[in-house]
Structures are given as C-alpha cells and as structure tokens.
Amino acid sequence: MDLRGPVLGIESSCDETAAAVLAPDGRILAEAVFSQTEDHGRFGGVVPELAARAHLAQLPGLVAGVMERAGVAPRDLGGVAATSGPGLIGGLIVGAGFGKGMAMSHGLPFVAVNHLEAHALTPRLPGLLPGGAAFPYLLLLLSGGHCQCVAVEGLGRYRRLGTTLDDAVGEAFDKAAKLLGLPWPGGPHLERLAAGGEAARVPLPRPLLGRAGCDFSFSGLKTAVAQVVAKGAAAPADVAAAFQASVAAVVADRARHALAMAPGATALVVSGGVAANSGVRAALTAVAERAGLPMVAPPVRLCTDNAVMVAWVGIERLRAGLTDPWDHAPRPRWPLDELALPA
C-alpha cells in the first residue's frame, strides 16, 4: 500500500510523552519527548495516575508542535499510529484515544502499535543500516519492564526464544542503583559511577551463565549486591562496576545461545533502554563480531521510549495494508509472541 503522506506517531505507555512525524521513507521530519522523570523521581519510580495526568496535559501541545515543525497539516498525513500496549493503562488510554480522535476527525487510517514491536522494528529505520536491518534477525529487547531474546522473522512474525524468569534487566539496574543510594532512574547513574570503579574487586554471581537456552535471571544478582552493600566493605564505584560487568557477561552469554537457536539471522540487534548502556553494547558487539554479523543498536536517544519508533511501525504496517478499527482497546499486557508459553 502506498502512503499518501507522513505518519504521526504517539507514545504514552509509561512516563514519557512523545510525538513524531516521519516521512514515508522513514526520514524524521520532527520529534519531541516530554520526560516526567522529575515528577516521579521523588517517589523512586513511576506513579501511574501522575503519569496519565501528565500525558493528558502535555500531548495536545506536543503533537501540535511536531506537526508545525514538520510543516504538515493533519489533512496531509498518511495515517496516525499510537502505542496501545503493553504499558500503564491510563497512559495508553490517553495516547490511543488522542490518536484515534485525530485519525477519525481527518479521515485517516489508524494503527494501534505494540510498544514491543516498536522496539523490535526500530533497527529497520533507514540510516542505521543501509536499507535497514533485513529479516530475519535476532533481537535482544532489554528494558525496565522487558528482557527477551526474540527471532524477528518478519512484520508481525516474532518467536520468543527466551525471557526473564524474574526481574527485567532494567529493573535490576534500578534496584542495584537504589541500593547504592543513586537517584531514580538508576541505570544511567550506575553506569557513570561504574566508570570509576574496578569490577574485579567485588566478586558477584553471573546467573545462568553457560546454562542451555537463553532465559535470564537477575534477582540473585540483585540480592548479592544488597549483601555486599550491607557489609559496607566495598567502594560503591567498585560495586557498580562489578554489577555492570556481570550483567554484560550474562547478556553476552545469552545472546550467543540465542544465535544458535536462530540460524540464518542477518544481524544481532539490541533495543530498549538498557541498549544505551556502553558496557552491554560492547559485550554484544564482541558476540556479533565472533559470529560474523553486524551488531545493530539504535542511537541512544531512540533506545528509551520515543514516538519515532511508533511512527515507523505505523509506516511498516500501513505499507502492508494493516490498520486497526476504532474500537481497538488498549492492552496493558500485549506479548510480542502471543503463542509463547509463560516462563
């Protein structure tokens, strides 16, 4: 299906309110993100009701701003795409409802976007690889709420190879950072602290390292950090460095196993907020090089929640002739692989 114009993307699944306009060829015409970090930081995590109210207050102005900067009127759009799950239901209702209303009022097609699919397809954005990552590829989706190895076989065709048995990797970063007295969100603060530490000074476990398959487990690593911190015998920077080194080693090991489970993969792809971590990127780059594959990661600004990836899914799905009805309901739980058994 040929697109008649640019696509507007809307993201509101958690604590980032975002909007973006992409040309049909994937060029970013305008984008904006309103971060709620300051609002939630004093509570040590996201407060769903506050997040939903912030989305409601910020989204209309944010959309108007990106449309103006893109030089696009609503009637010129080829479609509207909005995150409709998984995530916090209040924010999903705000974003999906706004997107549907805009599409309906201007006679535009609407695409309800799976937030995980948005992360999964980000590497296909033109510019990251010539022509974008080609199917099939292996995806490591590493974020605060998700930790999965997925064989991305085509648009809408996702096969989960492994997932976390307890904490997601980003959640583990945040909890370890909190134990070290760092502000929320903890991942970036822990990475900065780790840069001045020596990992070898603090022995920490590397859960499931070498185990068959590519499932993850981080609760034991988090507990080990708590025990080290409680003893007070190690420098915080050394603990942070050891934690980051353990995570990077585990992620690399799981990626090696996952590649063996996904023969024919054209690339090793990492996406999600933890994909911004330099230690994790370096470990996965080494795995990809040994496998003779490119390691593809979005720019750091596109690793965390954003509307560029949402608009890109809109483009991919609209080109395939896929749209969603007005009664499509947001889904707080929406697995990529609907057929995968629970971990």
Residues making up the annotated binding site for Fe cation are 115, 119, 305
By C-alpha distance, which of 157, 113, 123 is closest to 324? 113
CB 271 within 8 A of CB 142: yes
- Return the beta strands (E) in the chain as ranges: 7-11, 16-22, 28-35, 79-85, 110-114, 137-142, 147-154, 157-163, 268-271, 295-296
> Which segments are annotated as binding site for substrate?
141-145, 174, 187, 191, 277
**Residue 226: exposure state from Cβ atoms within 10 A (0-12, 13-18, ≥19):** middle
- Compute CA distances 21 → 104, 151, 199, 331, whole Å: 18, 28, 43, 24
CB 216 within 8 A of CB 265: no
> Which segments are annotated as binding site?
115, 119, 141-145, 174, 187, 191, 277, 305
Calpha distance 175→171 (Å, rounded): 6
Calpha distance 207→83 (Å, rounded): 33
Calpha distance 226→224 (Å, rounded): 5
Calpha distance 135→153 (Å, rounded): 6
DSSP per residue over 206-254, as a string?
-TTTT-SS--B--HHHHHHHHHHHHHT-S-HHHHHHHHHHHHHHHHHHH
Cα-Cα end-to-end distance for the chain: 38
Structure-token pair, residue 168: 């997601």
